[in-house]
Amino acid sequence: MFNANGNFDLLKNNYLFQTIEEKVVKYQNENPDADIIKLGIGDVTRPLPKAVQKAMHEAVDDMGYDDTFEGYPPNTGYVFLKEAIFKNEYEPLGINLDLDEIFISDGAKSDTANFTDLFGGGNIIALTDPVYPVYFDSNVFAGNAGKISPDGEFSKIRLLPCLSENNFLPQLPYRKVDIIYLCSPNNPTGIAMTYDELKIWVKYALKHNSIILFDAAYERYITCDNIPHSIYEIEGSKQCAIEFRSFSKTAGFTGVRCAYSIVPKALRVHIREGGVMSLNKMWNRRHATKFNGVSYIIQKGALACYSDEGKKQIMENISYYLNNAAAIREYFESMEYEIYGGINSPYVWLKTPEEMSSWHFFDYLLSEFQIVGTPGEGFGKCGEGFFRLTGFGTHEKTQEAIKRLKKQNIGT
């Protein structure tokens, strides 16, 4: 008899955004004339930068001729893209990397989830609460989460509460943890860690032989000087940290798919059986076995993000989303909501009014204003009572949403 992976049974039935979509579809069916504005899911609305579009067209042409045709791409990415990433993303920060420390992939979502392939048994995993759900679910799938208690807590996952009194930043765990997921600028809270805040975690990881999985998918949204763009700006981090980056929110690649991870060769981990292993070699091996690389056309598109035109067009799009986030933030501030994020991030995180539960606030916004956001509870227990809105909508829809809220005078 086929025996399925029972770990799937330990998870909530639906991925958060599936549940939201189902609710929205139901509402739309019941109210066919409703003009619903989606400020919930983290998908972009601006089209690809023209420089990227042009480069991809040219790459399609390359594929049609004998002398420029490309078959399987290199598993870990073309050198042309790795060089551009190094020269544009890391060298200016004073970070040195070998090209074989850069791994091109089809998404930071898959990278963060697939990295669980490299974990042995018995690790204690620290996740922030609220958290980007992929870190949690992928560890449960992989059987890394341990036993589940009647109240739904996993024995090998330590949740680090991120609360308003700590500006939604995780505090160091009391008991030792082996794997630490950090996301900065953060999804969902929009909060970014400063140099000093990140240093504390690097110091902790070095002291306890832990590793940090640092998700910097929103790095390009950083506007303040005291926020590191890469964890490798922190001394010692190459011995303990992996970094994930993506072209999705930077260059509108959510539908194109291209990202990369940095796995330093200096990061060497002990295995329980004795001996030392290089995570760089392991990730390389995993890529070679399970991944046949990102297509030439897509990698040429990603390369164009680093042309002068591409850079300019990307920054225009980032400003566009940040302006939307600022407008959302300003409106709720003017209504005296407790509000976070939206400065170094496209995400605005707000406290729901009158102790409303976050799903109740979701229903309220949908039914009264036809606006869709994301209930904080969907990102973890500590997200209860909070709500995420994003600057990823179009400028017109974002303004229209604010107009509707102003007109009916949303409560505080």
Residues in touch with ligand PLP (CB under 6 A): 42, 107-109, 132, 183, 187, 215, 217, 246, 248, 254, 259
Cβ-based burial of 309 (10 A; exposed 0-12, middle 13-18, buried ≥19): middle
The residue (of 215 and 243) whose beta carbon lies closer to ligand PLP is 215
Distance CA(25)–CA(33), nearest Å, equals 13
- The residue number with the shortest CB distance to ligand PLP is 107
The answer to whether 252 and 48 are in contact (CB under 8 A) is yes
Q: How far is the CB of 93 from ligand PLP (least distance, A)?
A: 20
- Strand bridging mode 241-246 / 259-262: antiparallel
The CA distances from residue 26 to 20, 176, 362, in Å, are 10, 45, 14
CB-nearer residue toward ligand PLP: 249 or 329 = 249
Q: Beginning with the edge strand found earlier in the chain, give each strand of the sheet holding 347-351 in spatial order.
A: 339-341, 347-351, 386-390, 374-375
Nearer to ligand PLP, 123 or 246 (CB): 246
Pick 156 or 249: Cβ nearer ligand PLP: 249
* Strand pairing category for 276-278 and 339-341: unpaired
Half-sphere exposure of 57 (CA within 13 A, CB side): 7
- Respond yes or no on whether the N-terminal peptide bond of residue 170 is cis (omega within 30° of 0): no
Least distance (Å) between residue 314 CB and ligand PLP: 15
State which residue, 115 or 369, has the beta carbon closest to ligand PLP.
115
Closest contact distance (angstroms) between CB of 145 and ligand PLP is 19
Closest separation in Å from C-beta 130 to ligand PLP:
11
DSSP one-letter code for 91: G
| Cβ nearer to ligand PLP, comparing 112 with 358 | 112
Hey, is 40 helix, strand or coil? coil
CB of 153 to ligand PLP, least distance (A): 23
The answer, yes or no, to whether the previous bond of 173 is cis (omega within 30 of 0) is: no
| E-only strand ranges, 264-385 | 268-270, 276-278, 339-341, 347-351, 371-372, 374-375
> Smallest distance, Å, CB 43 to ligand PLP?
8
Query: CB of 74: closest distance to ligand PLP in angstroms?
Result: 19
| Nearest to ligand PLP of 140, 216 (CB atom) | 216
By the 8 A CB rule, do 280 and 118 touch?
no
Q: Please tell me the total number of residues recorded for the chain in this structure.
A: 412
Residue 187 CB, nearest distance to ligand PLP (Å)?
4
**Is the Cβ of residue 42 or residue 146 nearer to ligand PLP in the bound state?**
42
Which three-class secondary structure state does DSSP give residue 99?
Answer: helix
